Structure 1
Amino acid sequence: MALPLIFLSSGLLATALTGSSLASQHDVTDGPYVFAPDRKPDNASWICHSEHKQTHIDSPKVLRPENCGELPQPTLHELKNTVEADSFSGVDTIVAFSDVHGQYDVMHTLLRNQGVIDKDDNWALGKAHLVITGDMFDRGPQINEVLWLVYQLDKQAQEAGGRLHLLMGNHEQMVLKGDLRYIHPRYKVTEELTDRKYDALYGTETELGQWLRSKHTLVKINDMLFMHGGISPDWLETDLTISKANNLYREHIDTPKQEIKQSELLNFLFYKNGPTWYRGYFKGKNMLNEKQIDQLLAHFGVNHIVVGHTSQDRVLGRFNNKIIAIDSSIKRGESGELLWVEDGKLSRGLYQGGKVSLTSDQD
C-alpha cells in the first residue's frame, strides 16, 4: 500500500529534523500580522504565549485575542497606500530621530518625554513634521510594536495638518528582500508558528507591507535633506533627482539582489555608496572634507544633510552643522535623543526631557 506524502515547510522540516520546536523552548507573544489581499484587510495572526491564533477583521480596529499580552490593537486606515510629496517648504517645526531597531520602550519613552505623543500615545505635534530616517527593523525584540505606533501616528499627523515621514533604511530594504541575518531570535518562533518566512509577514499582501512600500527614502524639508545613510559624491555623476530615486526604490524594493546588481544605477542606489549605506561624513580614510560637503549641499539647494545609520552617543553636528547625525544609539536599548528644528534653531531633545542647543563637534 502506498504511503501518503506529507509536505513540510522549510521551518517545519528543520523542526522535524531536530526533534523539538522553537515554540516549545520559548514563551513568545507577538503580532498582529494583518493580511490584506487586494488591499482589503481580512485576518490577523497573533502569537500568544507561543500559540498561533487568528482573528477575522470586520472593523477598522484590530482586536487581539484574550490572554495575548499588551500587543498593539491598531486602527487600520486607507491612507496607508498614499505616496506623499517628497519636498516641503514653510515648515515651522521639524523633529527627527533614527535607528530604533525594535527598541520600542526607548522610543516610546523618548517620544513621551519630548511631547511628540501624549499620555495616550497620540500625535501631539500639531502641524509639525516628524522624520524617522529608517532602520526600524532588525536586532531588537519589538519591531511590530514600533511599526504599529508609527503607523498610527502617520495617520494622526496628516489629520492634524502635520506629517510623519518614515524613510526606508538599509535594514528595511534587507528584510523586505528576504535578508534575515539580523532578526531577533524571537521572530524565528513567529516564523515557525505562522509557517511563513519573516519577510512574508511584511509582504505585498499585508497591511504593514503595503504601508512600508509607499514610503520614500529621501525627503527635503525647508533647507534640510534627510535620508538614512548619506549622499555620496557618486550621486553627482548620475542624473538622479530626489523624486526619481524615491520612485526607483519603491519600484525595485522587491527586485532580487542578483537583478539589482546587474544595473549600475540600481546597484548604486541599493548598495555601494547609495543613500541608505553611505558613511563618508564620519571617521575613516574616505571621509569627505568640507569643500565636498558644500558641493553636495549646493547640488540639492540645502544647508543641512541629516542622516542616521552611523551610531553616535548623541545627536551630533558635523562641519558646522552642515551634516547632522541623528542615530543616537537607541538600538542599544538604553536611551536616545531627537533633533528639533524650530524656526531654524537646532536643538537636541534629551531622553529625560528638555532640550539643549546643537553645537557642531568642530565648534
Structure 2
Amino acid sequence: MFKALLYAAVLTGLSSQLSANEASNYSFDGPYVIQDKSAVESSPQQTAYWICNSKLTSSQVSEHSLKRPENCGNLPEPILTDDVKQVMPDSYTEVKKVVALSDVHGQFDVLLTLLKNQDIINADNNWAFGDGHMVMTGDMFDRGDQINEVLWFMYQLDRQAKAAGGMVHLLMGNHEQMVLGGDLRYVHERYDLASKLLDRSNDALYGEDTEIGQWLRSKNTLVKVNDVLYMHGGISSEWLERQLTIAEANRLFRANIGRPKAELKKDELLSFLFYGNGPTWYRGYFSDAFSEAELDKILAYFDVKHITVGHTSQKQVLGLFDNKLIAIDSSIKLGEQGELLLIENNKLIRGLFNGEREAL
C-alpha cells in the first residue's frame, strides 16, 4: 500500500515537470516475458505481462510472437527467438565494418536518432547495417526511463543482424551487473509500478526465468573484432599479472552474474573481475598516472592495435595515445545527443549525432 501511494506521489510530482503525454507514459510498461513455473524444459510456456494504464494484463506467448493489448500505448511487440540466446564466440576476424557505442542508460529516443542518422537502422527502426557488427559496450540499464524500450530494441537488432549476416555484441557493463545482482539504487522510479504489480523486485524482472534475463546472461563481457578489443571499463595491468584469457573471463562472468556482491567478494578472482580493476569498472586509462608504455603491454598481450571502452563519460568519441585507446561513452545518458565509433576499411571515424562523419 505504501509503495502504491509513493508511486502515485511520484507521478504527481513528475506531472508538474513533464508534459501530460510524458507523464502518462509512466503508466505503461513491458512486456515482461516470464517462463511459467509449471512449464517443462522440453516444452517451455511463456507469459507476457503488460502494464496498461497502471493495470496489469497478460497474454500467452504464441509461436514466438507478442501482440500488444489494446489501449496499451506504444509498447514493444517483439518477435522472440532462441537464436539470440546462444553463447557466441568472443573473437572475430575479417569483419568489414563495425559500429560501436556505449552507456545508453535508457535514452531510447537519442539512441534511435543517432542510429538512424548514421544509417545503422532504417526509418522503421530495423537493422540496415548489412553484414556489419555492432558493439554495445554495456550500460543500457539504470538512470533513464525507457530501459525496456532499449532492451527490446537491441533484442530485435540482435535477431535482425544475424539474419543479415552481421552481429550484435552486447557486452556486460557495470550497471547490468548491478541490476542483475540486486543493486537497484539507480533504477528509475518508472519501474516501481512493475515491481509492485508483478510482485517482483526489479532484478527479478530480468531473472533467469525471463526472456530478457536469459538473453542478457548469454552475452560476453569482452569481445575482439579484427584488431580491436572491446569492453565496458578497461583492462588493467593486473589482468596481465593474472594471465587471464578473454574466454575464461567471459565464462566466469556468465557463470556468476547475479550472485550477491558479498559472495563474489569472497573469491579473489571473481572480486577482481566484477569489481575494482576488472573490465566492467576500471577507469585507470583516464588517470594522469597511466602511461602509453603500460597500454602498449596490454595491447601486445591481446595482440590488438586498439582498445575501445565506455564507462568514463566524454563529450564525444575520443582517441587517446594516437588512437590506441578509444573512449566511446559520449554522454548519451544525458538525453540530449551522442556519438558512435565507425570502423570501415581500417579507418576510425566519429559518427556525429547529426549524421555527419569525421576522422577520429
> What is the alpha-carbon distance in structure 2 between the residues aligned to residue 100 and residue 242 of structure 1?
24
Matched, 1:132 2:117: no
- CA deviations over 1:281-310 (Å, ceiling 9, x no partner): 1145xx410000000000000000000000
SS state of the match for residue 358, structure 2? strand
Structure 2 unaligned segments of length 5 or more: list them: 12-23
Matched, 1:296 2:298: yes
1:179 aligned residue (174, 180, 183): 183
Quote the residue 2:123 is aligned against.
119
Letter in 2 for 1:338: L
Give the CA deviation at 1:21: 5.2
Letter in 2 for 1:217: T
- CA deviations over 1:135-170 (Å, ceiling 9, x no partner): 000000000000101001101111111110000000
Letter in 2 for 1:201: L
Quote the residue 1:361 is aligned against.
none
SS state of the match for residue 100, structure 1? coil
Report how many residues are paired.
Answer: 341
> What is the alpha-carbon distance in structure 1 between the residues aligned to residue 200 and residue 279 of structure 2?
30
2:92 aligned residue (88, 93, 108): 88
Give the CA deviation at 1:49: 1.9
C-alpha contact (below 8 Å) 1:23/1:192 kept by paired residues: no
1:104 aligned residue (101, 108, 128): 108
> What is the alpha-carbon distance in structure 2 between the residues aligned to residue 310 and residue 49 of structure 1?
37
> What is the alpha-carbon distance in structure 1 between the residues aligned to residue 357 and residue 44 of structure 2?
43
Letter in 2 for 1:331: K
Quote the residue 2:164 is aligned against.
160
- CA deviations over 1:223-273 (Å, ceiling 9, x no partner): 100000000011011131000000000000022211111111100000010
Give the CA deviation at 1:193: 1.7
C-alpha contact (below 8 Å) 1:34/1:41 kept by paired residues: no
C-alpha contact (below 8 Å) 2:182/2:258 kept by paired residues: no
SS state of the match for residue 281, structure 1? helix
Give the CA deviation at 1:23: 4.7
SS state of the match for residue 108, structure 1? helix
- CA deviations over 1:65-102 (Å, ceiling 9, x no partner): 11111110000011132000000001110100000000
> What is the alpha-carbon distance in structure 1 between the residues aligned to residue 33 and residue 185 of structure 2?
23
Q: CA RMSD in A?
A: 1.4
Quote the residue 1:313 is aligned against.
315
C-alpha contact (below 8 Å) 1:80/1:210 kept by paired residues: no
Quote the residue 1:337 is aligned against.
339
SS state of the match for residue 55, structure 1? strand
C-alpha contact (below 8 Å) 1:83/1:215 kept by paired residues: yes
C-alpha contact (below 8 Å) 1:23/1:189 kept by paired residues: no
TM-score, structure 1 as length reference: 0.91
Give the CA deviation at 1:15: 3.6
SS state of the match for residue 266, structure 2? coil
Matched, 1:53 2:52: no
> What is the alpha-carbon distance in structure 2 between the residues aligned to residue 281 and residue 72 of structure 1?
38
Quote the residue 1:355 is aligned against.
357
SS state of the match for residue 58, structure 2? strand
Percent identity, aligned pairs only, is 58
Quote the residue 1:326 is aligned against.
328
C-alpha contact (below 8 Å) 1:330/1:336 kept by paired residues: yes
Give the CA deviation at 1:188: 1.2
Matched, 1:195 2:199: yes
Quote the residue 2:210 is aligned against.
206
Letter in 2 for 1:335: Q
- CA deviations over 1:86-133 (Å, ceiling 9, x no partner): 000011101000000000000011111111111111111111100000
> What is the alpha-carbon distance in structure 2 between the residues aligned to residue 85 and residue 312 of structure 1?
30
Matched, 1:150 2:154: yes
Question: Could you tell which deviates more after superposition, 189-198 or 22-31?
Answer: 22-31
Letter in 1 for 2:304: V
Matched, 1:230 2:234: yes
Letter in 1 for 2:340: L
Query: Against the structure 1 CA distance between its residues 290 and 42, is the aligned structure 2 distance closer, same or farther, given a 3 Å change threshold?
Result: same
C-alpha contact (below 8 Å) 1:23/1:50 kept by paired residues: no
Letter in 2 for 1:98: S
> What is the alpha-carbon distance in structure 2 between the residues aligned to residue 273 and residue 25 of structure 1?
37
SS state of the match for residue 148, structure 2? helix
> What is the alpha-carbon distance in structure 1 between the residues aligned to residue 351 and residue 10 of structure 2?
41
Quote the residue 1:5 is aligned against.
none
C-alpha contact (below 8 Å) 1:61/1:75 kept by paired residues: yes
Quote the residue 2:33 is aligned against.
34
> What is the alpha-carbon distance in structure 2 between the residues aligned to residue 239 and residue 311 of structure 1?
29
> What is the alpha-carbon distance in structure 1 between the residues aligned to residue 210 and residue 162 of structure 2?
22
Structure 1 unaligned segments of length 5 or more: list them: 1-11, 359-363
SS state of the match for residue 30, structure 2? strand
